[in-house]
């Protein structure tokens, strides 16, 4: 089965759908039209650039360049986590907490899968390494963003409750624990929903791509199960680490709540 190629004309037709949505949202005064169009433009430009970069990577298979691209992806994902927070941590912590958590979870699980599960030769073969790391970072980024946003929002809103617990002799871990648990539950909702609906409500992206590329459905299913398990583990471990680091940062060495370490919400 040959692949049906898409050209600029077909993509332009598809863009009419997004433009129509922006027009309707403007008529209804939803205030999202500009962000929607900017996001659509970024999608087209970024993916086009990525296409050229991946083509070059696939031709060279050089570990140095693959590593450089991987860390650029990590840095961009860390920036996105930081700017998605309503009350982000000030200073280097705003970038560092999410980026460190993504690095430890996403990179470790991707390396584990490449070396012990899929085992391509060489292990850093870009056709496997870059798409897998990209899916890991994208999903872990969303999970960490949701978890940190929920954690800081709850700490800000429940300041009195937390300080009352501290006065009663609780440690900072005990005082923040109910709100950290709530943040973790929130962070995992999209991933759990995606797993629960996979195959019944939706065909996930990697599976759809492999089927469109002409691979047997059973092979596509097996890869998608692997990716879903990896993504879930990465999102879960990443959110656990990020919310723990974030919770720790909310207190000083004397177990005092320090909300001055958060930026105030935008006006």
SS (H, E, C) 107-153: HHHHHHHHHHHHCCCCCCCHHHHHHHHHHHHHHHHHHHHHHHHHHHH
Q: What are 211-266's pLDDT values in tens digits?
A: 766 778 788 788 888 888 999 999 999 999 999 999 999 999 988 999 998 987 76
Residues 56 and 69 in one domain: no
| Region of poorest pLDDT, from 6-10, 75-79, 197-201 | 197-201
pTM assigned to the model:
0.84
Residue 86 has pLDDT above 90, yes or no: no
Q: How confident is the model at residue 95 (pLDDT cuts 50, 70, 90)?
A: very high
Helix residue spans in the chain (DSSP H): 8-27, 33-60, 63-83, 93-102, 108-112, 126-157, 159-167, 172-197, 205-212, 217-249
Residues 9 and 20 in one domain: yes
Residues 120 and 25 in one domain: no
Residues 48 and 84 in one domain: no
Average pLDDT over residues 66-83: 93
Residues 81 and 30 in one domain: no
The domain in which residue 2 lies consists of 1-60
Residues 72 and 33 in one domain: no
Residues 174 and 68 in one domain: yes
Residues 55 and 162 in one domain: no
Residues 95 and 163 in one domain: yes
């Amino acid at each position: 089965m040959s692949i049906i190629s898409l050209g600029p004309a077909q993509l332009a037709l598809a863009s009419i759908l997004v433009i129509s949505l922006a027009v309707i949202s403007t008529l209804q005064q939803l205030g999202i039209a500009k962000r929607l169009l900017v996001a659509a433009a970024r999608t087209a430009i970024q993916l086009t650039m990525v296409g050229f970069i991946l083509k070059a990577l696939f031709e060279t298979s050089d570990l140095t360049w693959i590593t450089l691209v991987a860390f650029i992806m990590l840095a961009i994902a860390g920036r996105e986590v930081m700017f998605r927070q309503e009350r982000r941590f000030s200073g280097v912590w705003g970038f560092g907490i999410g980026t460190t958590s993504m690095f430890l979870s996403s990179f470790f699980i991707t390396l584990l899968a490449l070396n012990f599960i899929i085992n391509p030769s060489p292990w850093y073969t870009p056709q496997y390494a870059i798409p897998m790391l990209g899916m890991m970072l994208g999903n872990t980024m969303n999970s960490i963003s949701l978890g940190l946003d929920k954690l800081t929002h709850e700490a800000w809103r429940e300041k009195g409750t937390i300080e009352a617990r501290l006065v009663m002799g609780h440690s900072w871990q005990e005082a923040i624990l109910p709100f950290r648990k709530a943040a973790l539950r929130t962070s995992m909702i999209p991933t759990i929903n995606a797993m629960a609906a996979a195959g019944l409500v939706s065909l996930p992206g990697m599976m759809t791509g492999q089927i469109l590329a002409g691979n047997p459905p059973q092979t596509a299913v097996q890869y998608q199960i692997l990716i879903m398990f990896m993504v879930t583990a990465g999102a879960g471990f990443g959110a656990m680490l990020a919310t723990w680091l974030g919770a720790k940062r909310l207190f000083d060495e004397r177990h005092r709540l320090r909300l001055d370490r958060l930026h105030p919400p935008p006006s």
